[in-house]
Amino acid sequence: MKSRYSLSIGKPFGIRVSVHWTFSLLILWIVLISIGRGLETLQIIMHLLFVMALFVCVVLHELGHSLAAIKLGGKVDSITLLPIGGMAHLSKMPEKPKDEFLVSAAGPLVNVLIAAILWIYLAVFRAIDVHDLEFETITGNNFLLLLLAANLFIVVFNLIPAFPMDGGRLFRSALSIRMSRLKATQIAKDIGQVFAILFIIAGLFFNPFLVIIGFFVLLGAKGEYEMIKYQDVLKNFTVKDIIKTEFAELELTDTLETAAQKLVQISDNGFVIRSGGDFAGILTKNDLINGLNTHGREASIEDVMKTDIESVDSGTPLFDVYQDMQKKRKYLLPVVDKGRFKGILDLENLHEFFLIKKATQ
């Protein structure tokens, strides 16, 4: 999943890896802290190199998750590096408790392997005496030892039973053996939110960075639970169960002024555009407003409508489409059956469908 806020740095094993723009804030923070401590230029460079090396380990950690997920039938969109670590975006996660456990454990196991390799190298080739080292700054002598310790810290920290960390997923997979995935997620979410609050409180007294991690865990736990709720309710439905066959229409030759006048009379999120009776595209409410601001009222609908929008088959599982629409912020999708236009799928209606089915379960 591409983002305008991230910079792509490569595609190992066909998986897109990118760096989020907020990562630059971490670099800036390290430089400012180092200057405040009175470190010399070479020492600052060593600190930055250490961060880069650590994030290489983070990428390997996420690749461990990703490759394990692909091996077990999952689908991985991309990996994004954030100031607080990495995040693999899985469009399809293996749902069997055993498979989820293996995917969740794969990341920390990579860090254990990295730490083991570093320990063997230091023990066999460097024979470093820890008592002879100083750790006030990062140097060539202590670089690898600190990297070893950092990998072990990643393992321990990730095993905390809180979403979206690996420990939360390991805990959920273990609970799922004896209860429903939704109930297991709820328990893991509640425990994760307790840890999040503890992180925030500790951060207020010790390290502000813990506050950021706390909010990340808080939001991650809530987001995971909400997604599983939708999956639990929508799992037995397909797009054809919610397709809209009655919708607002406009002609390709209409102007934005015509669309604006009609918009205030309807409650839909946009229009289906016809050309000679045939489906020609979709004009969303946001596209219309942006078009009015950019082109004015007299502009043609053809100038701003979506013509290359991807369609969805009526037999597609509804939860799969919901995930895609949420991630890519799609509000309207044309629905086809054997290549023929049948109607539209409205994200707002999908939310309403979920609430109704949840209330009647």
pLDDT attached to residue 134 = 64
Residues 6+ apart with CB under 8 A from 66: 13, 15, 76, 79, 88, 90
Q: What's the Cα-to-Cα distance from 190 to each of 139, 176, 177, 182, 203, rounded to whole Å?
A: 42, 15, 19, 12, 20
Helix (H), strand (E) at residue 172: helix 166-175
One-letter amino acid at 172 equals: R
pLDDT attached to residue 3 = 54
SS3 category, 209:
helix
Residues constituting the chain: 361
Task: List pLDDT tens digits, range 77-105.
Answer: 788 887 767 777 776 667 788 888 898 89
pLDDT attached to residue 35 = 83
Measured CA to CA, the distance from residue 290 to residue 81 in angstroms comes to 31
Is the CA virtual torsion 282, 286, 292, 297 positive or negative?
A: positive
pLDDT attached to residue 117 = 94
Per-residue pLDDT of the chain (361 residues; tens, 9 = 90+): 445 667 777 888 888 888 877 777 778 877 888 788 777 888 888 888 988 898 889 889 999 988 998 888 877 878 888 776 777 777 666 778 888 889 889 999 999 999 999 999 888 877 665 555 566 777 777 888 889 999 999 899 888 888 778 888 898 888 888 888 888 888 988 888 888 899 899 888 887 778 888 888 888 888 888 888 888 888 889 999 988 888 788 888 888 888 888 877 775 777 888 877 778 888 888 888 888 888 888 888 878 877 677 788 988 889 888 888 887 778 888 888 887 888 888 888 898 889 888 888 6
CA-based nearest residue to 211, from 86, 85, 84, 88: 84
pLDDT attached to residue 1 = 44
Measured CA to CA, the distance from residue 75 to residue 66 in angstroms comes to 8
CA-based nearest residue to 310, from 325, 323, 322, 320: 325
pTM of the model: 0.73
Bridging pattern class, strands 312-313 and 270-275 = unpaired
217 phi/psi in degrees, rounded to 5: -65, -40
Could you tell me the two tokens for 201?
């409180």
